[in-house]
Structure 1
Amino acid sequence: MGGEFVLRKPRNGIKCRRFDRCNTMRQTETELFSEETRERRRGRRSRRINGSFFLDMIIFFRPCFSSFIFLSLFLLSSSSSFVLSSETEHLSQRNQTLRPLEELNKLKAINQHLRKINKPSVKTIHSSDGDIIDCVLSHQQPAFDHPRLRGQKPLDPPERPSGHNSRGLRPKSFQLWRMEGETCPEGTVPIRRTKQEDILRANSVSAFGKKLRHFRRDTSSNGHEHAVGYVSGEKYFGAKASINVWAPQVQNQYEFSLSQIWIISGSFGNDLNTIEAGWQVSPELYGDNYPRFFTYWTNDAYQATGCYNLLCSGFVQTNSQIAIGAAISPSSSFKGGQFDITLLIWKDPKHGNWWLEFGSGILVGYWPSFLFTHLREHASMVQYGGEVVNSSPFGAHTSTQMGSGHFAEEGFTKSSYFRNIQVVDWDNNLVPSPNLRVLADHPNCYDIQGGSNKAWGNYFYYGGPGKNPKCP
């Protein structure tokens, strides 16, 4: 056995007959014991097995038999201990070897992915919230890694829908990275740099930047809960709304809270196409609790295609002032000032791409039509509203807030809202959303109330605190 060692006869063949010689032999065996221990620690293991171990010991150490019994028992127990220790140590070393190997392979995959999505920049801006914004040449952004776009440049702005007023106040800055007056040069796009720790928070490299799959807005929504206004039954070519921005509390890293517009086509099965834009708080994706401007798309119900922001080849950014994924500032305050953003998504009648406008006349970019199947033609549903992930921590409903964290009935300056809700029709006209209906999956946790007036057109208040006495 690997942990045993062998005692040998003295070379001169002299038996142990005297006490001092017995002492000499014991000393010799002790030295052998020490030597074998040192060899074992150096990784060398004795391969010799002496089947007559006890017989040899009795023959050569008969005069010292009583002393030998103690020594042999000690050596036997030590030998067994060394075998077990050696095997345990070997297993432990093997486990420790495998674990660093797995970690090394994971880090290699992460760094390879970072090299793919973090493009060379002509300027780098360090934001006060810890973000790093890279100013990347527009034709080198991640979208142009797509085979259908490789070697091309962003398209020129399309015709905006009729009835759209692009005039209005343009705030000097509405994202934290621009608070100190920093901007990206013309011909570049600002891209939030992805860091190693961002990907490490995800379940895997392949899952990074993707939403978990979920389906209809009902009680079987697989942990995703909604309070939404929606229209369906017609052909839709875009949508517009103003949304006030909040900083809701999210209970843990694995949940998020968002408010957005969904442009939807296809069934709620494997062929679902969506285009999404709004604001969100997502500790897993961003590592903090700031509300952030975001986009998303998928053409297969969140399975293999699509991603947030510019984390894959898809959305083409054309604007040098807005960083998708960067924090929005300011945000609304309870019983205080309200800050909202206006989003417009519409299908360019000429080329068929879906464009995104932020605020008053600021074109952000577009989703190429070839990314989709059903949305190459039109949308069959438009939704507006809030969504949270309820991971049911500790077996109870999450306390993650939707919107302001207050119910719809509390109204202006307390609840979150969507106002001036419109759709784009077949003739590229912006019109009030006809037959806007509202739905809340779990109204005791998050609710919604709709209305209409001259100042706000079609609107609704929505949101809630999540866990409360009526939402166990």
Structure 2
Amino acid sequence: MKHIRKSEDGDIIDCVEIYKQPSLNHPALKNHTIQLAPTFFSKTRKVFDDAKKEDIAMTITSQRWQKSGSCPKGTVPIRRTQKRNPNKDDFHAYGRKTASNMKNEVGDLKYTTNSTNSIANHSVALIETVGYSYSGAKVDIKVWTPYVEKEDEYSTSHVAIQNGGLHDFELVETGWAADGSKRTGCFDLTCPGFVQVNHEIALGGAIYPISNPNGLPYQITVYIFKDPTTKNWWVNYGESINIGYWPGELFMLLKYQGIMVKWGGEVYSSKVKTHPGHTATGMGSGNTPPSIFENCGTMKRMRVEQNSQPLMIPEWSTTVVDEYRCYGALYEVDYIPDPIFYYGGPGRSPWCP
């Protein structure tokens, strides 16, 4: 029996049998056997033992659609595609996929396989670390709803693990996204490849509550890690839910390890790096750092996993900003026990015409 859940924000969630999810239509997964749980997930991966409780914001654990019920075990919740959102045939126009750029969006999750990736329509403010072989990365990301000017634009905050060069690389990524329909949440499972096993989280459903400049801070904790046995790249949410994974069969380079980890924000628009006429789509909260009371994009407890070792603070990182007049970045490292990354901005402004 098919179960349907309707969210108060208009989303329709279908509870689909796990073995019938559309992601398995990917040609590389023709003979794939679903892995229902990671083969290894220890306490050192599950919690941040070195973090002080008072430094941790309130973690988001809910989605709006869950108010109408839940999906039964053995199924996965899939957000039904609406016309206002891109489907698998619209990704070229939405800046996701071209004939030479197979960059798939799955929920708040992205992966790129065998791609030649153009960044002409993307503007970023991030930090990155290199120098080791990376098998995992984790972060707390404060959740905002930045202004998004047009329906074919988006703003994301994420952590990513990459292998490959500047123009030809593979990438797995997770975080939150705000799109042109003015909601915070994520994209969905219309693109094949990511295998979901959890029945609680709908990739594409709006998350709540969100941070407010005059209210409480809210965040999500996300973690990508490679299963050392199956070589699948798992996504963990809230330090307790393993949502699913990208199968190792999808990759050539990431099948072994990542060589770079990135944390930060990204804006997609055909009007980035264009002056005058820059997009007004915001990054982070839409405020440029430094911002009082952390009212800009904020990431804390950034960790990397090197060669399946326990999570650790990256030894060194560098800041990358495409358009410093439009979106900014501030990486605080000195005189604090745990680095904090502030980023974001309004896009078009008197300084970014």
Structure 1 CA distance, aligned partners of 2:219 and 2:301? Answer: 12
Match of 1:281 among 174, 178, 183: 178
Alignment of 1:175 onto 2:68:
no
- Describe the shift of the 1:318–1:204 C-alpha distance in structure 2 as closer, same or farther (beyond 3 A): closer
Q: Deviations over 1:9-65 (max 9, x none)?
A: xxxxxxxxxxxxxxxxxxxxxxxxxxxxxxxxxxxxxxxxxxxxxxxxxxxxxxxxx
**Partner of 1:139 in structure 2?**
19
Q: Does 1:429 align with 2:310?
A: yes
* Residue equivalent to 1:408: 289
Match of 2:185 in 1: 292
* Separation (CA, whole Å) in 1 of partners of 2:16 and 2:170: 29
Residue 237 of structure 2 corresponds to residue 354 of structure 1: no
Of the two, which has the highest radius of gyration?
A: 1
Does 2:100 match 1:207?
Answer: no
Structure 1: distance between partners of 2:94 and 2:42: 31
RMSD in angstroms over aligned alpha carbons?
2.8
> Match of 1:432, SS?
coil
Question: Residue 385 of structure 1 is aligned with which of 264, 267, 276?
Answer: 264
Matched ranges for 1:69-218 at <5 A: 122-147=2-27, 148-150=29-31, 152-160=33-41, 163-166=44-47, 173-180=61-68, 182-195=69-82, 197-198=83-84, 204-205=89-90, 207=92, 211=96
Instruction: Kindly provide the amino acid, as one letter, of the partner of residue 211 in structure 1.
Output: R
State whether structure 2 residue 155 is matched by structure 1 residue 257. Answer: yes
Distance in structure 1 (CA, Å) of the matches to 2:124 and 2:332: 18
1:229 to 117, 122, 127: 127
Q: Does residue 1:341 correspond to 2:220, yes or no?
A: yes
Q: CA deviation at 1:335?
A: 3.4
Instruction: State how far apart, in whole Å, the 2-side matches of 1:260 and 1:154 are.
Output: 25
Task: Calculate the TM-score normalised by the size of structure 1.
Answer: 0.64
- Cα distance in 2 for partners of 1:149, 1:365 equals 18
Contact 1:162 1:429 in 2 (8 A): no
State how far apart, in whole Å, the 2-side matches of 1:447 and 1:386 are.
10
Q: Which residue of 1 aligns with 2:330?
A: 449
Per-residue CA deviations over 1:103-154 (Å, capped at 9, x if unaligned) read xxxxxxxxxxxxxxxxxx6200011111100111111111323453547344
Matched letter for residue 72 of structure 2: P
Q: Which runs of 5+ in 1 are unaligned?
A: 1-120, 295-308
Partner-residue secondary structure (3-state), 1:179: helix
Query: Which digits, 9 at most, give the CA deviation of each residue in 1:313-372, with x for residues without a partner?
Result: 211111111001111111100132110000000111111110000012111011101101
In 2 relative to 1, CA 428–327 (structure 1 residues): closer, same or farther, beyond 3 Å? same
Letter in 1 for 2:150: N
1:248 to 2:146 alignment:
yes
Could you tell me whether the CA contact under 8 Å between 1:139 and 1:154 is conserved in 2? no
Shift of 1:172: 8.9
> C-alpha distance in 2, partners of 1:192/1:248?
22
Structure 1 or 2: more strand by fraction = 2
- Report the identity percentage: 35
For structure 2, the 5+ residue unaligned runs are 104-117
Structure in which a larger fraction of residues adopt helix: 1
Question: What is the identity, as a one-letter code, of the residue corresponding to 1:449?
Answer: L
Structure 1 residues 361, 367: CA separation in 2 closer, same or farther (over 3 Å shift)? same
Aligned length: 326
